[in-house]
A and B are shown apart, each in its own frame.
Chain A
Amino acid sequence: MSAAAAEAPVRMPPIARLAPAEVQQFLLHEADLLDRRELDAWLALYTPDCTYWVPAEPGDPDPTRRVSLFFDDRSILVDRIWRLGHPRMYSQSPPARQVRVLSQAVLAPEDDAPARVRTRTKFILFEHRLREQRTFGGTYEHELVPHEGAWRIARKVVRLAQCDTVLWNLGIPL
Chain B
Amino acid sequence: MNTIADLSARGLSEPAPRSIADRVRDDRVHGSVYTDPAIFELEMKCIFERTWVFMAHESQIASPGDFVASRIGRIPVLVTRGADGAVHVLYNRCTHRGAIVSRETEGNAAKFVCPYHGWVFRTDGALAGVPYSAAYPEGFLAANDLSLARAPRVASYRGFVFASAAADGPSLLETIGPLKDGLDNLLDRSPTGRVVVAAGVHQYAFRGNWKMQMENGLDEYHPPFSHASTVRPGGQQLQRAYGAKTSWKVFGELEPTHPDAQSHYDHGEVHGARYGQAYLTIPDASRRSELELPEYRQLLVERHGEARAQQIVAASTMSNAVFYPSVIMRVTGNMHIRVVRPVAVDRTEVLVWPLQVEGVPEAINQGIVRYSNVHVSVSSFVQTDDLEVFERVQEGLQASQPEWVVLARGLGKEWDGPYPDERIGLATWETGMRAQFRYWKQMMAGEDA
Residues of A in contact with B (beta carbons under 8 Å apart): 54, 56-57, 61, 64-71, 73, 75-76, 79-80, 82-83, 86, 88-91, 93, 164-171, 173
Contacts and interface: CB of A to CB of B under 8 A. Distances in A.
A65 B201 CA distance: 11
B35 interface: no
A57 B373 contact: no
B370 A71 contact: yes
A165 B349 CA distance: 10
Nearest to A93: B388
B232 to A, nearest CB: 8
B378 A169 contact: yes
Contacts of A169: 204, 378-379, 384, 387-388
B351 to A, nearest CB: 8
Nearest to B336: A67
Contact of A79 (B203, B370, B381): B381
B378 A167 contact: yes
Given A86-B229, A89-B228, 12 more contacts: A57-B200, A64-B369, A66-B369, A70-B377, A75-B239, A76-B242, A79-B381, A89-B229, A167-B378, A168-B378, A169-B388, A173-B379
Nearest to B207: A168
A168 B369 contact: no
Interface in B175-214: 198-206
Contacts, number: 102
The dominant DSSP class at the A interface is: loop
Given A91-B385, A169-B387, A65 B366 contact: yes
Contacts of A86: 228-229
Interface string B344-380: 0000011100100000000001100110111001110
Nearest to B348: A166
A70 B204 contact: no
B369 A89 contact: no
A91 B370 contact: no
B204 A166 contact: yes
Interface residues of B, number: 39
A89 B380 CA distance: 12
B229 A83 contact: yes
A64 B367 CA distance: 8
A65 B436 CA distance: 35
Interface string B216-245: 000000000010111010000011001100
Nearest to A80: B381
A105 B203 CA distance: 31
Main secondary structure on B side of the interface with A: mixed
B229 A67 contact: no
B381 A83 contact: yes
B385 A67 contact: no
Nearest to B381: A83
Nearest to A57: B200
A164 B378 CA distance: 11
A173 B203 CA distance: 17
15 contacts: A56-B201, A56-B202, A65-B366, A66-B199, A67-B201, A67-B372, A70-B379, A79-B239, A79-B381, A80-B379, A80-B381, A89-B229, A90-B389, A166-B203, A167-B378
A79 B236 CA distance: 12
A83 B230 CA distance: 6
Interface string B382-414: 001101110010000000000000000000000
Nearest to A64: B366
Contacts of B202: 56, 67
A90 B226 contact: yes
Contacts of B385: 89-91
B365 A65 contact: yes
A89 B386 CA distance: 11
A67 B384 CA distance: 16
A96 to B, nearest CB: 12
Given A79-B239, A83-B238, A90-B385, A67 B354 contact: yes
Contact of A91 (B199, B377, B384): B384
Nearest to A165: B203
Nearest to B351: A166
Give me the 8 closest cross-chain CB pairs, A-B, nearest first: A86-B229, A89-B229, A91-B388, A88-B228, A166-B205, A91-B384, A66-B200, A169-B384
Task: Determine which residue in B228, B230, B374, B379 has the highest number of CB atoms from chain A within 10 A of its CB, and name it.
Answer: B379
Given A65-B366, A166-B349, A88 B200 contact: no
B379 A69 contact: yes
B199 A70 contact: no
A67 B388 contact: no
A164 B243 CA distance: 27
A73 B242 contact: yes
Contact of B379 (A54, A73, A166): A54
Nearest to B244: A75
B355 to A, nearest CB: 12
A56 B352 CA distance: 12
